[in-house]
Amino acid sequence: MGIIAATAFILATQGAPKIVTKSEGMASEARLNEIWDHIDNRFITQSDVWFDLGEFPSCVALLKVQTGYSPDDYEMMTNLGWMLENIERNDEARAVYLDFGTRHPKIGDAMYALGLSYSIKKEYAEAIRVLEPTLVNNPSPNTYRTLARSYEMLKKPLDAIRIWELELKRFPDELSAIANIKRVKAKMAAGGK
């Protein structure tokens, strides 16, 4: 029996829950969590095999099953999007990223994968459009870096510096921000944008 079929079988056989005592319920929940942990571990193992064999569409199918039962798992969502990008299904990947970001507007990095996708494809204005609003939610340094680099690539050095300075307010020891501010200021002083 295939792994996806086995999972479908397990889900289908769960049936309606019976009335249980609180202690039985906790034991049942613990057992169910243990089962899901084993399923996830098996999925990861199988996905690694398929990835090594270059069976990316199979990895995508498995990740769709995983994100189906864990739609709020940021790591799974980004893995699915990344795998979709690997097989050049960029529109689908961006839809996955956008869906997650839209459903989790208070998570600082919820739109990071979408912004990075735009930035990698040199769609810097789109990267800025999705990443700039996330600054109010205190994202990770990666969001600041991608956003500042997008401004720089659009020849907007003052905006790039502004973003790196915002990053430094949150992460004072961020050496790359310090170096980038110096680099861009020197470039501006030399007459470059």
Whether residue 62 contacts residue 4, with contact meaning beta carbons closer than 8 Å, is answered with yes
Question: Does residue 40 sit in the same domain as residue 69?
Answer: yes
Question: Does residue 100 sit in the same domain as residue 110?
Answer: no
Whole-number pLDDT of residue 123? 98
User: pTM to 2 decimals?
Assistant: 0.78
Asked, for residue 40, whether it belongs to a domain, the answer is yes
Question: Does residue 113 sit in the same domain as residue 126?
Answer: yes
Whole-number pLDDT of residue 18? 52
Specify the range with the lowest mean pLDDT, choosing from 23-32, 109-118, 169-178.
Answer: 23-32
Question: Does residue 29 sit in the same domain as residue 75?
Answer: yes
Asked, for residue 189, whether it belongs to a domain, the answer is yes
The enclosing domain of 118 has a CATH number of: 1.25.40.10
Total domains, the chain: 2
Sequence-distant contacts of 58-61: CB under 8 A, at least 24 apart: 59/83, 60/84, 60/87, 60/89, 61/4
Dump pLDDT digits (tens) for 51-71. Answer: 889 888 998 998 998 888 888
Token pair of 51 as six digits: 């990835």
Whole-number pLDDT of residue 136? 96
Question: Does residue 71 sit in the same domain as residue 131?
Answer: no
Asked, for residue 17, whether it belongs to a domain, the answer is no
Question: Does residue 73 sit in the same domain as residue 138?
Answer: no
Asked, for residue 126, whether it belongs to a domain, the answer is yes
Question: Does residue 97 sit in the same domain as residue 111?
Answer: no
Total residues belonging to the chain:
193
- Domain around 112: 106-193
Whole-number pLDDT of residue 11? 53
Token pair of 19 as six digits: 């009335």
Whole-number pLDDT of residue 105? 93
Token pair of 180 as six digits: 């980038």
